[in-house]
Structure 1
Amino acid sequence: MRLTDRTLNWLPNPLAALLRKHRETVKFVIVGGLCYVVSLVFNYALRLTVLGAKPVTALTIANIIATVVSYFLNREWSFRTRGGRRRHHEMLLYTVVNGIGVAVNSAPLWIAQYTFGLHYPNVSHAVEEISDFVFGMIIGVALAMVFRLWAYRVWVFPHDDVRPAPKRYEVPTQAAVPAPVATDSTSA
């Protein structure tokens, strides 16, 4: 039984059935969550070391790193049955879509920093950090996630059931009842 099915078996049946119906989106969100952590770690690693004065640059670099991780996970897990394009064409489209996604992700932080002026010395360091997190890591990520899911389905992996999926194992509804053991009634 696959990891996804084993995990969904822990959930209540109505919720598990809904999530199985939208399996591709669920996997996309899981990959997105993992890449969010990658982006978060690299963003703050860069901001707290070499790019302290350049938060938009730090976020952009972190998103590029997370995008590379995302491609391989999405291609081989989330959208593994989708495709329809040659690998180099698919990768080029993925790169273009994610370039736009990085811009969509960075735009709210750029607006907060340079349009609203939510940076030091205009505001305190604490307000700047909260603003950067909300605009860059929450609003930006949410907007970019919705854009990427749509764009992957439409442009990058446009055709469903192109690549064969591994065989699915059905989840048993009841435990198997052992067959009665035949006994010889003549020998006693």
Structure 2
Amino acid sequence: MQFLRSAYERFSTLIHELIKFGLVGAIAFVIDFGGSNLLTFGVGLGPIKSKVISTIVAATFAYVGNRFWTYRHRQQSGLAREYVLFFVLNGIALIPPMITIGFRTYSLGMHDLLSYNIAQAVGVAIGTLFRLWSYKKWVFLAAPELTEQSADGAGVRPHPEVKAQADPLTTR
């Protein structure tokens, strides 16, 4: 039991980030899939154009949700910088769905709803792995570790509040 408690304490920040990232991502997923399907099959836009438009709307929602909820405890490096970088990374993460949708549409000649959504799902899954890694690495940076002088004069140690927020994968 003590092992589970210490593991949770060590990884609690990561666990909470993953849950919040997943919730924001799930809502963005619905916005992306629903919008893409609506634009492709309801409005009649091309499948690639529909995917780009729905991704832009979903990414805007995801940025706001991740910045102000999932990663609110992380350092802000300037909203303009984060926003631009966030969308550049989302543009890169859009490549896998565009490839799978394009292959399904133009190489296989499939134009049905089911194959469209399967192609979207495969591409989005690949893109999501990239986004999870890249957001933490370049957009929502870890808070800098503050230090305080120890009472016994032994030297500088991490500030207790910041240590609790440190990324457990990089904390030793």
Aligned-pair identity (%): 26
Q: What is the DSSP-based 3-state SS (H/G/I as helix, E as strand, rest coil) of the residue aligned with 1:48?
A: helix
Letter in 2 for 1:46: L
Point out 4+ residue stretches in structure 1 off by more than 6 angstroms: none
Between the two proteins, the alignment pairs up a number of residues equal to: 140
Cα displacement (A) at 1:84: 4.3
Matches of 1:142 and 1:83, distance apart in 2: 27
Q: What is the DSSP-based 3-state SS (H/G/I as helix, E as strand, rest coil) of the residue aligned with 1:49?
A: helix
What TM-score, normalized by structure 2, do the two folds share?
Answer: 0.71
Letter in 2 for 1:155: W
CA 99–74 in structure 1, closer or farther in 2 if over 3 Å, else same: same
**Higher Rg of the two aligned structures:** 1
2:50 to 55, 58, 70: 58
Q: What is the aligned-residue RMSD (CA, Å)? A: 2.6
Contact 1:118 1:131 in 2 (8 A): no
Say yes or no: does 1:134 pair with 2:118: yes
* Structure 1 residue ranges without an equivalent (≥5): 1-12, 121-127, 166-188
Matches of 2:97 and 2:130, distance apart in 1: 10
Contact 1:38 1:66 in 2 (8 A): yes
* Structure 2 residue ranges without an equivalent (≥5): 146-160, 163-172
In the alignment, what sits opposite 1:183? none
1:104 to 87, 92, 96: 96
Query: Which structure 2 residues correspond to residues 14-33 of structure 1 after superposition, within 5 A?
Result: 17=8, 20=12, 22-33=15-26
Q: What are the Cα deviations for residues 101-158 of structure 1, in whole angstroms up to 9, with x where unaligned?
A: 222332211122223x1425xxxxxxx322111111x111111111101110111112
Say yes or no: does 1:46 pair with 2:30: no
Say yes or no: does 1:76 pair with 2:68: yes
What TM-score, normalized by structure 1, do the two folds share?
Answer: 0.65
